Structure 1
């Protein structure tokens, strides 16, 4: 693992010319696959002649699980994608200098919280040719409430955290997204937390695409970080969209 702008990353070079190949930045999930290496195993973007760069999400210090129990939104769900998006421009500049690629098309991929990071970069004005959001956190409030239902708790929203949720409500901010976006969500994922927000973003965003994967839940790997069977289908869907728009 190397570091750019303080962010650890895994880089997979293209088969062709490294100076002219497009670049894809792919942020992992917080649920499995929850590391750059395991996300690269699950979503290798097989057959895409591009730089494939998997940055680590900027996790806070301490026990992530305990931080989540203490305050999921303030400690994890808002600051992680927010920090990843803020770091993206400087990270890309440093990667361009280090890896030697020029002013080439850039694609973004993100899973769950990594998709929130990706969408934050898009609404922040990142110059991106194509994007793929997998099991995405499209609306922070809906996703947080869905996670609470899994654990049998109700998150205590207040004015400050509702403002954070509004910032990460990409349905409300759809007009700020200009890159061609494909949304991929499993039909077994939580309807209120993930499927319906993805459907709402697709409806609000002309030129976007929505794929519902039959039999797929939220994660792309098991607890041992082994990719689930649907990961290969997701990878093919991502490659198809990126190849269309990057090359």
Structure 2
């Protein structure tokens, strides 16, 4: 198996895994990792490598994570969470990762032998909100999307933080914009979607997964994984680690999903 390729694309760190087979140009699947373990592009690549997929899998680093950690790392992130869970923490992560994607994609196309066709997108936890934003709010051609324990409604994620969050007009507008069940029609028009949800994930996130699949309709499928909690890897989740059994089940499901969608694409 070929070794991972690491680098930066328009300033965004990445870990790229070459296709399982064949030579020349191949399709591209882009991922965004969780803020829980695995919380770096390299760790996410180890947790969900999709090794049997005949496509490049490029795992992008989220802002302020891994190589882009600033200040004293975890403490700086905790301070943002304490300041304002939505407006200082969750929303800036999703906004920056979404906004930097077009330039990162152009850089990847110039650097790697990927074809110029539609891409696949995959996001875990808060990275799922990034993948959903690419689907719902951009015109980037996408052949298939997938989510794992995703932040589908940001209000459900905010409710996981200690204390009661008080919304004002601005934060309520942001929360509405990051409610992707409300954008299900747009997502259904864009690409087929696999929603992977751990049965041991936070109950509200698990419920949101069911709601999104129902709202998207026939172009969405649900994969419910019995032993999967919210994280996909053990702490600290920064460096690549051996794949856990629930993550392997997710990995197999994702591989089959994207392989079948590529076959449909022709």
Deviates more, 1:168-177 or 1:7-16: 7-16
Aligned to 1:204: 215
* CA RMSD of superposed structures (Å): 1.5
Partners of 1:87 and 1:175 in 2: CA distance: 25
Deviations 1:154-199 (A, max 9, x none): 222222111111111000011111211000011111212x011111
Partners of 2:118 and 2:25 in 1: CA distance: 9
Equivalent pair of 1:26/1:108 in contact (CA under 8 Å)? yes
Alignment of structure 1 residues 15-164 onto 2, 5 Å: 15-17=20-22, 19-59=24-64, 61-62=70-71, 63-123=76-136, 124-145=138-159, 147-148=160-161, 152-164=162-174
Secondary structure at 1:215 match in 2: coil
Aligned to 1:235: 251
TM-score of the aligned structures, taking structure 1 as reference length: 0.93
Secondary structure at 2:206 match in 1: helix
Deviations 1:102-152 (A, max 9, x none): 31341111100111000001112221001110000000011211x22xxx4
Equivalent pair of 1:112/1:135 in contact (CA under 8 Å)? yes
Equivalent pair of 1:43/1:234 in contact (CA under 8 Å)? yes
Aligned to 2:261: 245
Partners of 1:17 and 1:97 in 2: CA distance: 20
Secondary structure at 2:34 match in 1: coil
Secondary structure at 2:251 match in 1: helix
After TM superposition, give the deviation of residue 97 of structure 1 in Å: 0.9
Deviates more, 1:96-105 or 1:78-87: 96-105
TM-score of the aligned structures, taking structure 2 as reference length: 0.86
Partners of 1:2 and 1:50 in 2: CA distance: 18
Secondary structure at 2:14 match in 1: strand
Aligned to 2:179: 169
**Deviant stretches of 4+, over 3 Å:** 15-19
Partners of 2:164 and 2:233 in 1: CA distance: 26
